[in-house]
């Protein structure tokens, strides 16, 4: 079964870009704002930083290499909250 995303979400999805980091990825976070951080490879030191996140700041590890629909499944869960 092919899943189709609501067209109204396409601009948001298309704005998500991958990147290569040569320093801690957490340097890109504005810790004064709410956020949901999706990441496929979270280093131990980054998990330590995320441990201090506020209740409205979340980190979610995704694995789209093993489960191509993992990000879709996670965002579907978030939408139902």
Q: Which two tokens stand for residue 36?
A: 């949901």
Rounded Cα gap, residues 22 and 10, in angstroms: 29
- The residue with tokens 């189709």 is 4
pLDDT tens digits in sequence order for the chain, 81 residues long: 455 677 888 888 788 877 777 888 888 889 999 988 888 888 899 999 999 999 999 898 888 788 888 888 888 877 766
Instruction: Judge whether 16 lies within some domain.
Output: no
Domain holding 41, by residue range, is: 33-81
Taking the model in full, what pTM does it have?
0.62
Number of domains in the chain: 1
Q: Tell me the HSE value of 72 on the side-chain side, using a 13 A CA sphere.
A: 10
Whole-number Å distance between alpha carbons of 24 and 65: 22
Question: Is residue 10 assigned to a domain?
Answer: no
pLDDT for res 51 = 93
Q: CA of 76: how far to CAs of 5, 35, 36, in Å?
A: 10, 17, 14
What pLDDT does residue 3 have?
59
Three-class secondary structure of residue 35 per DSSP: strand
Please report whether residue 4 resides in a domain. no
Chain centroid offset of residue 32 CA: 17
């Amino acid at each position: 079964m092919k899943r189709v995303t609501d067209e109204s979400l396409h601009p948001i999805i298309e704005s998500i870009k991958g990147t290569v980091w040569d320093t801690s990825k957490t340097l890109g976070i504005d810790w004064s704002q709410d956020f949901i951080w999706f990441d496929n490879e979270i280093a131990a030191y980054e998990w330590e930083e995320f441990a201090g996140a506020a209740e409205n700041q979340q980190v979610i590890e995704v694995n789209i290499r093993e489960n191509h629909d993992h990000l879709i499944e996670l965002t579907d869960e978030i939408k139902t909250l």
